[in-house]
Amino acid sequence: MMHVRIIVPPGRRAEVEEVLADAGDAVSDVVLLPDAAVRPAGDLLLCDIERGALDSVLHELHVRGIDRAGSITVDRLELSMSERGKRFREDRAAIAFGGDDDALVWQEITARTADETRLSITYLAFMAIAVMIASVGVAIDQPILLVGAMIVGPDFGPIAGTAVGIVRRRLRPAMRSLLALGIGYATGILFAWGLTELLLALRIYDRDALDAAHPLTAFVWAPDELSALIGFLAGIAGMLSLTSAKSGALIGVLVSVTTVPAAGAIAIAFSGVGLTEFTGSVLQLLINVAAILLGASLTLGWQFAAERRRRRRADA
């Protein structure tokens, strides 16, 4: 269940009420406060909408320009007890397996990925910190640091944004997400390389130790078929987490892939560890990003097609 707040422009109340009425039992707890909004001016309308109907309601309001002349805000409700909403969920579950849990809300997906793909100091700082932690983990052969680095790294957001752009056939958002991803990795590698050189100069690192065998972290620069498989599965899980209310799986996605550790290993290789480690780490990074992107894109495409079929059945 989602809570929706709409500032209705003057003279447009009937249009909004018509859209909500067309949604039937999916809309409940409607509250209207005439002329309550000041900036922008208008009526304040509050309501609760089932997730399965939210996308179509938001689309209709957007087509009518309500969001441009007024505003629309959506929040997730943790608990809502409504008989009308219960009937809607039961009807939707009868139409298709999964019911309301599998509903796509494109506006929500687009907003979340846009927030995570916007180049900012915070985003670059997280990337730099994550890759620096990974580089230390590679240098001292401590895989637990790689796990921490993968959790800190914000790189799934731009990959998901690219997948959304591909599925929606919007080249500009997809390219913007890829650019943010590339700049993020480059920034992280640059800072991690600088950290490595600093620690070498301070003799905290020993160059001979960097050149020695790393039995616990050597997998980072040794990609194989399983690297692609895990990346593909992680892309599926990550997109399912992004498009549903079940966001807990995203942490598992972050610790399953080897993107940030590979970037950290690239930074170590810049300090003269060896060509084999450098090429292997670059290949590992590319394989993981490509596999995650493929899994995420195919999953979102399948969800989009399934949602269209559910809507056709509901309208029939």
* Res 97: pLDDT: 44
Helix (H) or strand (E) holding 10: none
* Res 290: pLDDT: 97
| Calpha distance 284→29 (Å, rounded) | 52
C-alpha distances (whole Å) from 166 to each of 59, 76, 171 are 20, 27, 7
| Calpha distance 258→185 (Å, rounded) | 13
**What does DSSP assign to residue 9?**
P
In single-letter form, the type of residue at position 138 comes to V
Helix-helix angle 143-152:121-139, to 10 degrees: 170
* Res 102: pLDDT: 64
The list of the chain residues with pLDDT below 70 reads: 82-102, 245-252, 273-274, 311, 313-316
| Calpha distance 36→63 (Å, rounded) | 24
* Res 17: pLDDT: 95
pLDDT digits (tens, 9 = 90+) for 62-79: 999 999 999 999 998 877
* Res 316: pLDDT: 57
* Listed residue (238, 230, 212) closest to 300, CA to CA: 238
- By CB atoms closer than 10 A (0-12, 13-18, 19+), residue 141 is middle
Phi and psi angles of residue 262, each rounded to the nearest 5 degrees, phi first: -65, -40
> Contact at 8 Å (CB) between 253 and 239?
no
pLDDT digits (tens, 9 = 90+) for 18-49: 999 998 888 989 999 999 999 999 999 999 99
Phi and psi angles of residue 50, each rounded to the nearest 5 degrees, phi first: -65, 145
pTM of the model: 0.84
* Res 280: pLDDT: 94
Reading the block at residue 12, the tokens are 């447009």
Reading the block at residue 292, the tokens are 């995650």
* Res 61: pLDDT: 95
C-alpha distances (whole Å) from 287 to each of 19, 40, 229 are 46, 48, 10
* Res 94: pLDDT: 45
* Res 96: pLDDT: 45
Using DSSP's 3-state secondary structure scheme, residue 30 falls into: strand
| Calpha distance 164→34 (Å, rounded) | 38
* Res 115: pLDDT: 76
Helix (H) or strand (E) holding 38: strand 27-38
* Res 129: pLDDT: 98
In single-letter form, the type of residue at position 144 comes to I
Rounded to whole angstroms, the maximal C-alpha distance in the chain is 76
C-alpha distances (whole Å) from 48 to each of 4, 54, 291 are 6, 9, 38
Token look-up 């580089």 returns 135
Reading the block at residue 87, the tokens are 């009937």
| Calpha distance 168→7 (Å, rounded) | 28
| Calpha distance 296→290 (Å, rounded) | 10
Phi and psi angles of residue 71, each rounded to the nearest 5 degrees, phi first: -160, 155
